[in-house]
């Protein structure tokens, strides 16, 4: 028979009978398209939103009402200690973002908890052996690589930034193991500055 539902890894059951079949979208007559100018070709083109975004958004809202996702509770932007000093809080935001790559939110939260017990500060991490760090964060993906990057980032922050994390995208991107997604996430979580979208 037809498959009417799917149970995904979070335990949420998606019932496909709730979702109405999509009709082929009609050509958009919306005149409010955005005008953009390409600097390279100096030409103007119209950008339209995806044709089915309203339908998809409605389905997503309906499914999200059923249950919270792990990211709502243990997303990496929520793992820094809010009672810590500003400097330590910012560092922990960076650490949570660095560890989050290729890792489930729950596993990242467990690794962050282990680091908190150990001492999750720039000074503490800079002094800790890579092998010890790798054991503390063993639940995340690629713990050995991340332990190496974590220790190197701590040393750079200590020696080049007065014990703080860089406060610019360029500075964050210069740290080992930090790509654009993590840099944007850190800017928002640590400094409440939204300078891009984390994708």
3-state secondary structure at position 47: strand
- What token pair was written down for 137? 């964060």
Q: How many CA atoms within 13 Å lie on the side-chain side of 140?
A: 30
The alpha carbon torsion through 97, 168, 196, 39 (nearest 10 deg) reads -140
CA distances in angstroms from 143 to 100, 128, 188, listed in the order given: 11, 14, 25
Q: Residue 96's closest CA among 72, 120, 118, 126?
A: 120
* Strands 5-7, 34-37: pairing kind: unpaired
Q: Residue 199's closest CA among 178, 175, 181?
A: 181
Cα separation, 147 vs 137, whole angstroms: 8
- Specify the length of the chain in residues: 199
Q: Answer yes or no: are the C-beta atoms of 186 and 169 closer than 8 Å.
A: no
Q: Which residues are catalytic?
A: 181
């Amino acid at each position: 028979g037809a498959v009417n539902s799917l149970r995904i890894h979070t335990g949420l059951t998606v019932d496909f009978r709730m979702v109405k079949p999509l009709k082929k979208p009609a050509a958009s007559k919306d005149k409010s398209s955005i005008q953009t100018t390409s600097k390279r070709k100096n030409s103007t083109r119209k950008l339209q939103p995806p044709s089915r975004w309203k339908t998809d958004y409605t389905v997503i809202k309906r499914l999200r009402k059923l249950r919270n996702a792990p990211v709502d509770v243990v997303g990496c932007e929520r793992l820094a200690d809010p009672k810590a000093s500003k400097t330590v809080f910012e560092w922990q935001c960076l650490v949570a973002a660095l560890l989050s790559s290729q890792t489930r939110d729950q596993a990242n939260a467990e690794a962050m908890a282990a680091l908190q017990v150990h001492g999750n500060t720039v000074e503490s991490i800079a002094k800790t052996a890579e092998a010890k760090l790798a054991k503390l964060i063993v639940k995340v993906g690629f713990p050995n690589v991340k332990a190496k990057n974590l220790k190197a980032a701590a040393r750079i922050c200590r020696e080049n930034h007065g014990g703080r994390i860089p406060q610019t995208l360029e500075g964050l991107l210069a740290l080992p193991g930090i790509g654009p997604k993590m840099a944007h996430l850190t800017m928002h979580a640590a400094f409440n500055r939204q300078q891009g979208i984390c994708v």
